[in-house]
């Protein structure tokens, strides 16, 4: 009997050792976040916690989503499949009806012995209704419902006295009180609590999806105080910036998000957006500190990213769903235990479809055959590694979503087509025009470049089955 007990204890010790040797995963996502972080060189953003994470990991300067809209992007990232495969192109499309039995990232990790938990918005959830029909119930051991924040606490009287609302610019609100009055604070708090009571004989896959800086731009007042109104500047652009932009790519192609009316209202919206970004940064800080205090940070893969970017007035746009750089590009910071490239930056092109294969590779989990991305493990050895020669993004715009767009981004060029070119073509040279102000599609000097990029677009992104 005594020998049997010793054998069982020995087996348990080996099992526990094998689990503890397998890395944990902390996946952090923000909603509608462009690269408006200090570590990305934004001149005003105050994001000390994400900046500190960047010093521990690799910052990818050229990371791109596959569809700048919540449900399509998240469905693509969480399955590792492009929108052409998922056929999810708006917030109403249901991944699980399109692909019965589809294998998602948390489901795969759960099947491979991980304790899985979701706090907040990882798959698309109703905002702020709490509708969770787009979530994967097979993915999680634990998941928190996304409940409405309404009604918000009363405004703190703001020092910024401008009209706000749909006709006067983006809505924003400064509220008194602490972080946990809004859902992102609750998500951070719940995630920390789950870490303390999880099954510690398993590695964990914890995904925390922050709601901000998604509209409405509401945050505790102390984060607004970080940004004096007089310090807020508007993006500069040539007076004729929109003259060479095809109609599907212009502001009017997305109804309900008209250009904010006055410079003061635009500045107030940018200030509110930055306040929300700082609020998210503070919640990330809470989580990372909790991870450190629990002694878990030395065996946890940490990834911070966003579902897509967001416009703050560039090209006259104040939303997502465009195929310009500000909308297609996402922040992407990857930190792993013992990585050789900590604190470095990579200019290699990567895509959100790379997340699933990367986390599988780093955790010793087999990669399912459906994956269309590549593992980023090589960057942990050498940050100058080149993985892709191009990144691809798609979008739908227009009153009835009648404009289907697809774009290819290489190290130098961005080429965009609307309805396979019938409704407009764009070509931008990032070597000389990083803000994409000058459309070169009709310049005969670049005809061969345009032809080559369009051929690659047609080969990689055939029209989505409608």
Q: Give the sign of the dihedral formed by CA 279, CA 281, CA 282, CA 288.
A: positive
8-state DSSP, 464? P
Burial of residue 126 (number of CB atoms within 10 Å: 0-12, 13-18, 19+): middle
CA distance 265 to 270: 9
CA distance 421 to 247: 12
Residue from 33, 27, 28, 29 nearest 277 by CA: 33
CA distance 22 to 308: 30
CA distance 368 to 95: 17
Which residue in 69, 99, 108, 124 is the catalytic one?
Answer: 124
H helix or E strand, kind and range, residue 30 = strand 24-30
Helix %, strand %, coil % of the chain (to 5): 35, 20, 45
Residue from 63, 68, 65 nearest 89 by CA: 68
Identify whether 124 is a catalytic site residue: yes
Which residue in 70, 276, 360, 415 is the catalytic one?
Answer: 70
Number of CB atoms found within 10 A of residue 152's CB: 12
Identify whether 70 is a catalytic site residue: yes
Residue from 301, 358, 307 nearest 56 by CA: 301
- Under DSSP, is residue 48 helix (H, G, I), strand (E, B) or coil? helix
Let me know how long the chain is.
Answer: 466
Q: Could you give the residue numbers annotated as active site?
A: 70, 124
């Amino acid at each position: 009997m005594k020998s049997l007990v010793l054998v069982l204890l020995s087996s348990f010790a080996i099992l526990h050792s094998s689990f503890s040797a397998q890395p944990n995963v902390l996946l952090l996502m923000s909603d509608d976040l462009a690269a408006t972080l200090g570590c990305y060189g934004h001149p005003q953003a105050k994001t000390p916690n994400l900046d500190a994470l960047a010093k521990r990991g690799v910052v990818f300067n050229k990371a791109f989503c596959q569809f700048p809209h919540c449900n399509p992007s998240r469905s693509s990232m969480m399955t590792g499949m492009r929108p052409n495969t998922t056929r999810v192109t708006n917030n109403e499309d249901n991944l699980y009806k399109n692909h019965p039995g589809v294998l998602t990232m948390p489901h795969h990790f759960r099947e491979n012995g991980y304790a899985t938990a979701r706090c907040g918005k990882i798959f698309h959830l109703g905002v702020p209704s709490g509708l969770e029909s787009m979530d994967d119930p097979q993915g999680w051991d634990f998941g928190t419902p996304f409940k409405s924040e309404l009604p918000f606490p009363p405004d703190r009287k703001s020092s910024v006295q401008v009209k706000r609302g749909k006709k006067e610019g983006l809505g924003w609100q400064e509220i008194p009180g602490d972080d946990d009055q809004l859902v992102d604070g609750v998500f951070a708090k719940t995630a920390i609590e789950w870490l303390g009571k999880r099954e510690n004989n398993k590695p964990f896959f914890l995904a925390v999806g922050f709601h901000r800086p998604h509209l409405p731009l509401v945050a505790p007042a102390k984060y607004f105080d970080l940004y004096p109104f007089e310090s807020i500047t508007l993006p500069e652009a040539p007076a004729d910036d929109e003259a060479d932009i095809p109609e599907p790519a212009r502001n009017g192609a997305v109804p309900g998000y008209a250009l904010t009316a006055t410079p003061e209202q635009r500045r107030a919206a940018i200030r509110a957006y930055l306040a929300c970004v700082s609020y998210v940064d503070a919640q990330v800080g809470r989580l990372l500190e909790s991870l450190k205090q629990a002694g878990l940070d030395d065996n946890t893969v940490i990834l911070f990213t966003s579902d897509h970017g967001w416009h703050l007035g560039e090209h006259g746009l104040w939303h997502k769903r465009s195929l310009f750089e500000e909308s297609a590009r996402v922040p992407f910071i990857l930190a792993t235990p013992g990585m050789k490239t900590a604190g470095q930056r990579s200019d290699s092109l990567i895509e959100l479809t790379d997340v699933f294969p990367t986390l599988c590779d780093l955790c010793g989990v087999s990669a399912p055959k459906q994956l269309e991305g590549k593992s980023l493990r090589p960057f942990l050895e050498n940050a100058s590694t080149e993985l892709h020669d191009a990144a691809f993004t798609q979008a739908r715009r227009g009153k009835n979503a009648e404009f289907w767009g697809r774009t290819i981004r290489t190290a130098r060029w961005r080429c965009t087509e609307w309805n396979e070119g019938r409704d407009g073509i764009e070509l931008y040279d990032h070597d000389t025009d990083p803000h994409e102000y000058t459309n070169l599609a009709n310049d005969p000097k670049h005809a061969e470049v345009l032809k080559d990029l369009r051929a690659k677009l047609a080969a990689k992104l055939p029209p989505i089955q409608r």
